Amino acid sequence: MFAVPVSHASAGAQSVEPTDSYIVVLASRDDIDEVSADVARAGGSVGSVYRYAVGGFSARLTASQVTALLGDARVASVSRNKRVRKRAVVPAAQGDVLYHLDRIDQRALPLDGVYGPPATGEGVQIYMIDTGVRATHVDLAGRVIHGADVVGPDERGVPATPADDCDGHGTHTAALAAGTEHGVAKRATIVAVRVLDCYGEGDVDSVIRGIDWVIKHHRSGSLAVANLSLGVESSYGACVDIFAPGVRLLSAGIDSDTAEQTLTGTSMASPLVAGYVALIGETDPTACPEAVHEAVMARATKDVVKNAGTGSPNLLLNVSDASAVGASVPGTPSALVSSPLSDGVVVSWDPGCNGGAPNGVTNVRVYRDADPDPIRTATVRDASRIVLRGLEGDATYRVSVRRKTANGVSEWSEKSIAVSPSEVTTGGKVRTSSLAFSTEAKVRGTWSIGDEQKWNCRFTPAEAAAPGGSGTGKRIVYDRSSRRLFAIDADNQVVRSTTVVGTTTPPVTGRYRVTRTSKGFSATGSAGVLGFREIVDEFLPESLGAAASNDDVFLPPPDGKWFRSFVTKTKLLVIVS
């Protein structure tokens, strides 16, 4: 147990120790809630909680509290929350236009004045963890998704959304990665994740929160790449993987939708590599990160970088080969979520990349309470969930899985959060505080019932938590952390709860039509699909089974009657993913 003694300077005066901001990383994600609660009880001020990038939290702590945490077996590390900033950027006079593209698609000089990439990056998302992105710029228009803003607007209220940029750094780097004119992957999609302010500065806490959001929201089963053109020190020597052009690079600016500016810095080199990974992702979407990394290194041009520095690898980015990277060991499954049943639990997970071997099996280990040895093992084929029955209700259970294909075996995943077999009943409250920085879609319009069309309303996604204590009637809230769909009233009281099993996709702006099918209801739309692969009624465990489609929303009977009644009376639908 984490505890800090309180000392008194005298009977009439108590000494006050100064505090500072720290990042606390735990040995196991299972202990996040317990350790953060212990810190709060001991007088520490807990800030952000990280559940995906790392398991831990930020907190303001005294030196005594830091010492106590370092002596806690549940704690892996405690480090000061450092300031970070965009990588050194030097404005420069415009040099050779698009030199950076011309140089990276050929190995030898002289340059031929042509950029001819073997792919476009279409279908691949590039997460720009930076200062935001000017989404309306002609170089990126139509290919920028509002991601997250963990910094928030400044005192002027700027910027209004993460798909905006009050510094310029994020827009410049985004266009280098995926700009129609200036970029490597000209059809890739940019997801704006704002972690730096209008001066290009932030801290480690903000960066981890941004990465946490990316991992939580990335859709399963497809390759994506994240770019961070920021740091606390310079990058050179043995820590460098590869070089790319970074001097006098012309790219998009923020003064207008057609603005350009020329900048110099390591910030400019990084997105070129991110763009190349997007090219590979288009041709080999199931590739694993380790295999992609190896391919980027192997395909680089060797021994052409001048003054690379002692210990630096003399490798220059080359994008002329975007072919499939080949077979590799499958990735480690992640994001395990357990939901209780009356006599067991249902566990789902993100299977991760398959390394070029789509068929295979998943090994499952079940652990009881704190026992380090599994009490049960199982094997499932081509699945991302398992129903475990016959478990005792007075114990808690955790599950770990690994994937096995013809190419090899992954590492064992981290264990799922411990749960006990029990029915989830109505009357509880949805913890809306855990839904911060989630995508919220509000549906307004005329509700109607018919055999062919259930509703046709416009979705307007916005970055916000599910509203609490506001409005009237009921709302539907989906909490990705528990993969449960809740029907809640204006006071966040649970009216109905349903387990959601399978991968999810956040809703996107567009018009949708929900139709009745033989199995329930399906939702389709012109701008994309509404993303629940499968919704399983928790009061009907035997309905666990295959969904009719990966693209539709199905609520199997007897939920149909309840759902029809719900949509005729509900004026606001909130889906948080």
- Sign of the C-alpha dihedral, residues 500, 505, 511, 517? negative
List residues bridging with 485 in a β-sheet: 478, 498
Lookup: tokens for 79: 């480090």
Give the integer Cα–Cα distance in Å for 547 and 535: 8
How many H-runs (helices) and E-runs (strands) does the chain carry? 8, 35
Give the integer Cα–Cα distance in Å for 61 and 67: 10
End-to-end CA distance of the chain: 34
Lookup: tokens for 184: 């490597």
Give the integer Cα–Cα distance in Å for 116 and 238: 31
Give the integer Cα–Cα distance in Å for 523 and 514: 4
Query: Pairing relation of β-strands 360-368 and 315-316?
Result: unpaired
Where on the phi/psi map is residue 132: left (φ > 0), alpha (ψ -120 to 50), or beta?
left
Which residues have a Cβ under 8 Å from the Cβ of 316 and sit 6 or more positions away? 103, 104, 242, 243, 244, 300, 301, 302, 304, 305
Which residues have a Cβ under 8 Å from the Cβ of 135 and sit 6 or more positions away? 141, 144, 146, 163, 164, 192
Spell out the alpha helix ranges (H) of 181-331.
Answer: 204-217, 266-283, 289-298
Query: Is the N-terminal amide bond of 330 cis, ω within 30° of 0?
Result: no
Lookup: tokens for 177: 């990665």
Just list the catalytic residues: 130, 169, 267
Task: Please name the helix (run of DSSP H) or strand (run of DSSP E) that holds residue 441, with its range, or none.
Answer: strand 439-444
Q: Where are the beta strands (DSSP E) in 297-409?
A: 301-302, 315-316, 334-341, 344-350, 360-368, 376-381, 385-389, 397-405, 408-409
Residue 155's φ and ψ, nearest 5 degrees, are -65, -20
Lookup: tokens for 65: 């509290």
Task: Please name the helix (run of DSSP H) or strand (run of DSSP E) that holds residue 25, with its range, or none.
Answer: strand 19-26
Give the integer Cα–Cα distance in Å for 433 and 361: 37
Lookup: tokens for 505: 């996709």
CB 289 within 8 A of CB 225: no
Task: Please name the helix (run of DSSP H) or strand (run of DSSP E) that holds residue 65, with its range, or none.
Answer: helix 63-70
Q: At what angle do helices 266-283 and 289-298 cross, to 10 degrees?
A: 110
